[in-house]
Structure 1
Amino acid sequence: MNGIQTYMQAILDASHDGIIAIDKDAVITLVNRNAIEILGLPEGIVGEKITTYIPNSDMLRILASGKKELGDIATILNRQIIINRLPIILHDQIVGAVSTFKEITDIQKMELRIRKKFTESGLEAKYRLEQIVGRSKAITEIRQLAEQFGKTDATVLILGESGTGKELFAQGIHLISGRSSGPFVAVNCAALPGNLLESELFGYEEGAFTGAKKGGKSGLFELAHGGTLFLDEIGEMSLPIQTMLLRVLQEKKVRRIGGEKLIPVDVRIVAATNLDLEQLIRQHQFRSDLYYRINVLTLELPPLRDRLEDIPALTCSIIEEVSQRIDKQICGVDPTIYQVFQQYEWPGNVRELRNVVERMVLLAQDRYLGSGDVAFFRKKLNQHRVTAAVMESWEETERSLILSTLRQTNGNKGEAAKRLGMDRTTLWRKLKKYQP
């Protein structure tokens, strides 16, 4: 080899793809190190007929047709490879053919590195199931169930009031699953208007609408490929988008807004809501077929009022977290604070507790949190007790009125609803509440 040939061969050998080329007579004109290794060829084959080593070489077809063939998959020496074959054309004449190929495992590794780049951009889960604080029976059983769910690839529906930690459980399920090395992408379906949610989920092509980003944009389904897509507040999703979502779940392919191409996606769905989806189905606000598609496995999170024994551990965890963030050292907590907290029903659940504890730490004048640091909360607690008493009295009055009206109508719910000035669905929900 002369200097130029040696230099060109070094360039070919530096390629991560296997490369082999032939002339119009099917004589091998160049081959690189990766091609020899992947195809199991001997050294020194340049100048030999390709059919000597690959009797039925598909490159002969390229010489005859002059058409390129992209993305062919074959198994060679127990390896799956993806192959591109192209004609070499000079002055409108086919003078040869070239084939480039690589192992599919290399492509999968490359894709994983891309997904990790997304993770570095914030598309990641941080909370493991064991980090979810609490030792009560209620939270322990839910954590164990979530661990079982994480070991499957089925869709999970997480039910629970606002502030119970639905996203924490979704992240924990992702991190214990076989998709843990892939991205975790979360979207709050209630936070975006319908048209914006559609473009966020499914992406769009350039020029799909006024203001569309040049070059288009990948949707969250594409970003979550190989990982988990968390659809929070799915009960707030509009019916048209529910229909589009159902199609993606059925076909495992997504079509960008304004696009024609169907893009395959491999995504696990974890959905969450604080609404009664079955009631929304009866009210024709949620598709029943989508409900059954997402409700394969169900995780119902307990409200904080049903696990008040976890309040000391939760309070300490929040204090530690806030203290580190604001660089303020808290050395101890008066146990009476826990007792005060345990007298409250926490309608906002752990999120509300976090708000109260954070305020307490921020305003603390000492390194030890005493009963004085919770004085602001005692006022809220007293107001809550009054409100709770009024609500209990009102609910008892309402219950008596509904049951009395039903007796008067001999159990005719339609007539009872009419007399009470409410629709049948509302009456049904209240009956379910008052007659468990």
Structure 2
Amino acid sequence: MTALLKIQTFIQAYAQAISSILESDVTVVDNELIRVAGTGNYAIEIGSTIAHANFINGILETGESGIITNVAEDPNCNGCEKRAYCKELANLAYPIFKNGVVVGVISIIAFQEKQRKNLLKNRTQLEEFLKYMTMLLESKLYTSEAKDRLEQQLQVVHDDNKVWSFVGKSQKMQEAIAIGRKVAKSDSTVFLRGESGTGKEIMAKMIHDLSHRRDKLMISINCAAIPENLVESELFGYEEGAFTGAKKKGAIGKFELADKSSIFLDEIGDMPLHLQTKLLRVLQESKLERIGGQKPISIDIRVICATNKNIEQMVVDGTFREDLYYRLNIIPIELPPLRKRKEDIPALVEYYIGYYNQKLSKHIQGVAAEAMQTLVNYNWPGNVRELKNIVEYLANIVEGEEVQLADLPDHIVLRSAKGFEAWSLDKIMEEYEKRVLTNMIKEESSVEDKERLADTLQISRATLYRKLKKYNLL
């Protein structure tokens, strides 16, 4: 399907509007010579291949406008099967561009002598008019392409567990999930609260996937990741010439892309104060204006926002608008940190071991009791995201079928609140001795390798062999 055919409905309405203004008929042909739109005599030929290809092919090849002033005499009409009974008296055509390539032609057609005289008399002005009309069509093509690109990324899977997943049965997490499921069917704004790594984006995806908007892509934007001077253009878009460096045709913003869908505003607490005012107005009026725009654009969106900051304190400090806070905080959902749902850690570890076994073609069967207890006792400041990263690390370095305490990173063991509880000093020393030897010995070390290792550790070869045997490393 050609670029113009993808927006055929829009182009037909566009052609009819131009025809009404000029009081002449209008037709649009794509680069495969298919009539995409038409009025008057050509309204019934939409979707068919045109007959008078010479003239249109010339426009497509040269990228320059052209005109037929008299069908009976114009050489462009030589060989046309319809020339003898053609109802066209004149034809003014202008190329339609996309990325510098001609993708079609728009024509003003004169079927009456009065229309022909008017076309010839006002040719220069009409060419200029068509030039700006094709620029608007090109802008529409860009917008359509951007939306298509985003839609292609959408893979709607109605099996909830394949799209998003919460592991564990802790009461606090189950309460948060229950609220998310309950409010998913509405269009009310949801405010997700919780530390980094607690699953706010996964919760947002769950809410979107269970909503009536799930057939469209949820648009996500991290307010903290965009330079402050670009946040407004990213969110609301801009028109051509709105500022230095603006794209020639302007750009659509994330809010327009999210029309009829959901938009997820992550790290909303980092949104600049001056933009909070504009966001509040958009939420209240369901309309926005691009930077440099002259007219409001209606949008139909569902807003889900998230933060790891103390928004209430920011309101007190004057860094977050109070009225915006109340507008966003309609349905608050608090996601608990991992340290407050430690009963879920074994299930999470098991889940991610299975995930990385498949992804990395590993065969880890489980975690030794001491290692699991250490993981449970660790405080997990990075929450589930940190745990996932640790399991990925283990999946890469563990060579056996079971994760041992010695396999855990040092900072996990050292910072585990009860990692060494009830351990004697000898037990602690043994554990670290095993860790050191495990990391230094090679799986297929030769006698010479072991001799060099003994020299490096400044112990005898007999002592080294005894320790290797003790820890099953021979």
Q: Percent identity over the alignment?
A: 41
* Equivalent residues of 2:379, 2:417 under 8 A apart: no
Match of 1:233 in 2: 267
Distance 1:294 1:385, change over 3 A: farther
Give CA-to-partner distance per residue, 1:383-404, whole Å, 9 cap, x none.
9999xxxxxxxxxxxxxxxxxx
Distance 1:375 1:252, change over 3 A: closer
Match of 2:23 in 1: none
Residue identity in the other structure for 1:243: T
Alignment of 1:22-101 (within 5 A): 32=44, 89-92=115-118
Cα distance in structure 2, aligned partners of 1:342 and 1:268: 38
2:347 corresponds, among 313, 324, 344, to 313
Question: Unmatched 5+ residue regions in structure 2?
Answer: 1-26, 47-108, 120-142, 422-474
Residue identity in the other structure for 2:182: Q
2:152 corresponds, among 120, 130, 133, to 120
Match of 1:379 in 2: 414
Match of 1:360 in 2: 394
Q: 1:195 Cα deviation (Å)?
A: 1.3
Q: 1:32 Cα deviation (Å)?
A: 2.9
Q: 1:145 Cα deviation (Å)?
A: 0.9
Match of 1:175 in 2: 209
1:344 corresponds, among 374, 378, 403, to 378
Aligned partner of residue 298 in structure 1, secondary structure: strand
Give CA-to-partner distance per residue, 1:273-312, whole Å, 9 cap, x none.
1112121111111111111111111111111111111101
The structure having more radius of gyration, on CA atoms, is 2
Q: 1:230 Cα deviation (Å)?
A: 0.5
Cα distance in structure 2, aligned partners of 1:210 and 1:112: 25
Q: 1:261 Cα deviation (Å)?
A: 2.8
Match of 1:144 in 2: 178
Cα distance in structure 2, aligned partners of 1:372 and 1:290: 50
1:300 aligns with 2:334: yes
Match of 2:258 in 1: 224
Distance 1:364 1:384, change over 3 A: closer
Aligned partner of residue 90 in structure 1, secondary structure: helix
Cα distance in structure 1, aligned partners of 2:169 and 2:405: 25
Give CA-to-partner distance per residue, 1:106-132, whole Å, 9 cap, x none.
xxxxx9998564132479899947621
Distance 1:350 1:125, change over 3 A: farther
Aligned partner of residue 327 in structure 2, secondary structure: helix
1:287 aligns with 2:321: yes
* Equivalent residues of 1:125, 1:172 under 8 A apart: no
* Equivalent residues of 1:158, 1:299 under 8 A apart: yes
* Equivalent residues of 2:191, 2:305 under 8 A apart: yes
Question: Unmatched 5+ residue regions in structure 1?
Answer: 1-7, 22-28, 35-85, 94-110, 387-436
Q: 1:382 Cα deviation (Å)?
A: 5.8
Match of 2:281 in 1: 247
Cα distance in structure 2, aligned partners of 1:211 and 1:245: 24
What is the number of residues matched between the two proteins?
Answer: 304
Cα distance in structure 2, aligned partners of 1:342 and 1:157: 29
* Equivalent residues of 1:185, 1:223 under 8 A apart: yes
Cα distance in structure 1, aligned partners of 2:404 and 2:335: 31
* Equivalent residues of 1:253, 1:264 under 8 A apart: yes
1:256 aligns with 2:290: yes
| TM-score, normalised by the number of residues in structure 2 | 0.57
Distance 1:357 1:162, change over 3 A: same
Cα distance in structure 1, aligned partners of 2:155 and 2:261: 10
